A = this chain, B = another copy of it.
Amino acid sequence: MIDKHGIAQEFQLIQDEICAGLEALDGHSKFQEDKWDRPGGGGGRSRVITDGDLLQKGGVNFSAVHGDLPDMMVKELKLNSSDFFATGVSIVLHPNNPFVPIIHMNIRYFEMGDGTYWFGGGIDLTPHYIDKGMASQFHKGLKAVCDKYASNLYPDYKKWADDYFFNQHRNETRGVGGIFYDRQKDGLSKQEWFDLACDLGRAFVPLYTEQVDFGRNKPFTEANKKWQHIRRGRYVEFNLVYDRGTKFGLQTAGRIESILMSLPQEAHWYYNHQPEEGSEEFETLQLLKKDVDWVV
Q: Interface of A with B (CB < 8 Å)? A: 34, 48, 50, 57, 59, 168-170, 229, 233, 236-237, 240-241, 250, 253, 256-257, 259-261, 263-272
Chain B residues, Cβ within 8 Å of A259: 169
B261 & A271 in contact (Cβ 8 Å cutoff): yes
Q: How far is the CB of A96 from chain B (nearest CB, A)?
A: 15
Instruction: Answer whether A268 and B271 are a contact pair too, CB < 8 Å, given A240-B237, A241-B240, A250-B241.
Output: no
Which 10 A-B pairs have CB atoms at the shortest separation, nearest pair first? A240-B240, A263-B269, A257-B272, A169-B250, A48-B271, A266-B268, A240-B241, A169-B256, A267-B267, A261-B271
Instruction: Answer whether A256 and B170 are a contact pair too, CB < 8 Å, given A265-B269, A266-B268.
Output: yes
A240 & B250 in contact (Cβ 8 Å cutoff): no
Chain B residues, Cβ within 8 Å of A57: 269, 271
Chain B residues, Cβ within 8 Å of A257: 271-272
Chain B residues, Cβ within 8 Å of A50: 270-271
B268 & A265 in contact (Cβ 8 Å cutoff): yes
Chain B residues, Cβ within 8 Å of A168: 250
B34 & A272 in contact (Cβ 8 Å cutoff): yes
The residue among A48, A240, A253, A272 with the most chain B CB atoms within 10 A of its own CB is A272
Chain B residues, Cβ within 8 Å of A267: 236, 266-269
Q: How far is the CB of A118 from chain B (nearest CB, A)?
A: 26
Q: Considering the chains assembled together, what is the distance between the CA atoms of A272 and B57 in angstroms?
A: 12
Chain B residues, Cβ within 8 Å of A170: 256
Q: Considering the chains assembled together, what is the distance between the CA atoms of A155 and B265 in angstroms?
A: 38
Q: Considering the chains assembled together, what is the distance between the CA atoms of A240 and B263 in angstroms?
A: 13
Q: Considering the chains assembled together, what is the distance between the CA atoms of A229 and B264 in angstroms?
A: 12
A233 & B263 in contact (Cβ 8 Å cutoff): yes
Can you list 14 A-B pairs with a CB-CB distance of less than 8 A? Answer: A34-B272, A48-B271, A48-B272, A169-B253, A229-B266, A233-B263, A236-B240, A237-B240, A237-B260, A257-B271, A261-B271, A264-B269, A265-B269, A266-B268
Residue of B59, B250, B272 near A271 (CB, 8 A) is B59
Q: How far is the CB of A248 from chain B (nearest CB, A)?
A: 12
A260 & B269 in contact (Cβ 8 Å cutoff): yes
Closest residue on chain B to residue A48 by CB atoms: B271
Chain B residues, Cβ within 8 Å of A266: 229, 266-268
Chain B residues, Cβ within 8 Å of A272: 34, 48, 257
Q: Considering the chains assembled together, what is the distance between the CA atoms of A237 and B246 in angstroms?
A: 12
Q: How far is the CB of A81 from chain B (nearest CB, A)?
A: 26
